[in-house]
Amino acid sequence: MLVENRFAVRAPYSDDLRDIMSIAKAKESREWLSHWSELTREPTPLVPLQGLARELGVARIDLKDESKRASLGSFKALGASIALVRLIQRIWPERNYQAKDLFQGKHAQALSNFTVISATDGNHGRSLAAAAHDIGCRCVIVLHKNVSMEREEAIASHGATIVRIAGNYDASVEEAARLAKENDWRVVSDTSYDGYEEIPRDVMQGYGTIPEEILEQLEVGANDACPYTHVFLQGGVGGMAAGIASYLNERFGAKRPTYIAVEPKQADCLYQSAIAGRAANATGSVDSVMAGLACGETSPLAWRFLQPSVDYFLTIDDGEAVEAMRVLASGQAGDAPVVSGESGAAGLAGLMHLVKNEELRIKTGLNDQARILLISTEGATAPAVYEELVGKSASAVLASQSKWLDQACV
């Protein structure tokens, strides 16, 4: 289902929003993250999908492959880590902790009794656990019943203590808050709520690395127009979408691209927010194969950025996400094969959904002049689940990708 956002505008980036998230802070976060050994030094690949663009009847499709961001396999590595650094700096301003020294574990002894906690569907918790391990503090991660054992094991491998609950993601958020209060721990969450905005802001600010890299990769000059007419953004609580949109809005102002947010039908909190005109809750079960997007409550802070900028909110079926995973894995129409996880492929699933319906294609302007940016937010973060859904292993897809790249260089 598609809903047009009646509150979306095309205007210069407001000072109120710039005070919360800005290109300047995104650049600072990116520089700090360059000192963390878990992250790759080079930008993640921007993969042209020229064959798929022809098949779908658009001018261009580029896919930012965040599976190559780090060994963590997800864009979430950019958010949780920088939020943890900024939290530590706020708690102990007199110690003048520098990001480089924190990431290198130089203050591990001083921070050994400091504990952070978060709920997660997998990627955020794994990233927080990895950052906490390298910085030297303790980490507790609350997992709900639908998080796979593969994802639990990946988080635990970084030394985090795991707490399992019987409920869904939103219940795990509540349990993390309860444990934090009971034990005097600090919550590092990617969703905001009343009285809790600084850390989610820092998480979202870390995601500004993605659009900055893209514009550099395309060599977009300071006075150049936006290279894309449309950007598809995964939903969830709205943090990633807000982080990307805020950067592009500040850079391009009224000439920003059209944003289309995509989320599961059963976890439609952003879709419902667009209808209500305020941050709202999902109406479905929330459970979805798109685990990273299976969120029931919109982040109020993220909504402050999404309400004036996202043009359309789209819900998709789980089957559409799986189909998009397979399309990317196959290297359809001669494109490079890409490993994209259940949530990572949601943007492509949204694009495919819209172009198959002529009315929706026309409504959203997805014509033969459209230039599309997709962000594959994760790779095979649960390898067995990926293989079951795609019909081949991630390693097999990567082998095909390597072969394609070798042939392209001949």
Residues forming the active site: 76, 121
- DSSP of 272-287: HHHHHTS--B-SS---
287: tokens are: 């459970």
Residues 383-404 as b or e (16 or more Cβ within 10 Å = b): bebbbebbeebbeebbebbeeb
399: tokens are: 């082998």
User: What whole-number distance in Å separates Cα of residue 227 and Cα of residue 97?
Assistant: 38
**The tokens 């973060």 sit on which residue?**
381
Q: Max alpha carbon distance in the chain (Å)? A: 61
**Is-contact 323 36, C-beta < 8 A?**
no
User: What whole-number distance in Å separates Cα of residue 352 and Cα of residue 18?
Assistant: 33
**The tokens 């809005």 sit on which residue?**
249
Give the list of residues 6+ apart from residue 129 with CB closer than 8 angstroms, or none: 139, 141, 155, 156, 158, 159, 160
Indicate the SS3 state at residue 161: strand
User: Strands, DSSP E only, in 165-238?
Assistant: 186-187, 230-234
User: What whole-number distance in Å separates Cα of residue 268 and Cα of residue 298?
Assistant: 9
Neighbour tally for 44: CB within 10 Å: 22
User: What whole-number distance in Å separates Cα of residue 25 and Cα of residue 33?
Assistant: 12
Taking CB atoms within 8 Å and a gap of at least 24, the contacts of 36-39 are 36/81, 36/103, 36/131, 36/134, 37/103, 37/104, 37/134, 38/70, 38/71, 38/72, 38/77, 38/81, 38/130, 38/131, 38/134, 39/69, 39/70, 39/77, 39/78
Q: Which amino acid is at 354?
A: L
User: What whole-number distance in Å separates Cα of residue 158 and Cα of residue 120?
Assistant: 15
